[in-house]
Amino acid sequence: MKLIIAVVQDKDSNRLSEALVKANFRATKLASTGGFLKAGNTTFLIGTEDEHIEQVKEIIKKNCQSRDQLVAPISPMGGNADSYVPYPVEVQVGGATVFVLPVEQFEQF
Ligand code: 2BA
Ligand code: 2BA
């Protein structure tokens, strides 16, 4: 068994969870925040058998789009001057960042 951790954009999260349910996969959604943009994103935990990993990755790929996002300059006033970006920068936020981890045990009580 493997645990897939997928960080996706909020805009894609409903579509992805619907597609997973439709394909009979179980998942847990966590509200998360990107360390760089400091904007909300969604982290999916999907536990599934090894032979289904490719299918889950395909579903993620199909339902998550990559987009360009503008990072607005944030005033350092009262904040952390180390992270101050004085001009807007465009970054490409990927469709999904996916990790596949081995699962030692899976129990449901
Ligand atoms: P449980 O299987 O007891 O799962 C309870 C919650 O645990 C799930 O909430 C989900 O958040 C998490 N979970 C379970 N298996 C997981 C896995 N392999 N990977 C990641 N997270 C997992 P919900 O998704 O809201 O599901 C509530 C209950 O609805 C489930 O209870 C199950 O009885 C049923 N269910 C969930 N997905 C289903 C599906 N695709 N088809 C049929 N029944 C489903
Ligand atoms: P954020 O950390 O908010 O990053 C959003 C986008 O900003 C990234 O898109 C990337 O294009 C850019 N970016 C991030 N860190 C950067 C840096 N130090 N310098 C320059 N540009 C940077 P993605 O790579 O597609 O990542 C989307 C989200 O996925 C990230 O949101 C983060 O929440 C998660 N993520 C990506 N790589 C990760 C990793 N190795 N470990 C954990 N989470 C990761």
| Full pLDDT tens readout for the chain, 109 residues | 999 999 999 999 999 999 999 999 999 999 999 998 899 999 999 999 999 999 999 999 999 999 898 887 766 565 566 666 678 888 898 899 999 999 999 999 9
Q: Which ligand is nearest to the CA of 45?
A: 1
Choose which residue among 4, 7, 30, 44 to substitute to test ligand 2 binding: the one with the highest number of ligand atoms within 8 A of its C-beta: 7
pTM beyond 0.85 = yes
Ligand 1 atom closest to residue 28's alpha carbon, by position in its atom list: 11
The predicted structure's pLDDT at residue 70: 84
Give Cβ neighbours of residue 47 (< 8 Å, ≥ 6 apart): 1, 2, 3, 4, 26, 103, 106
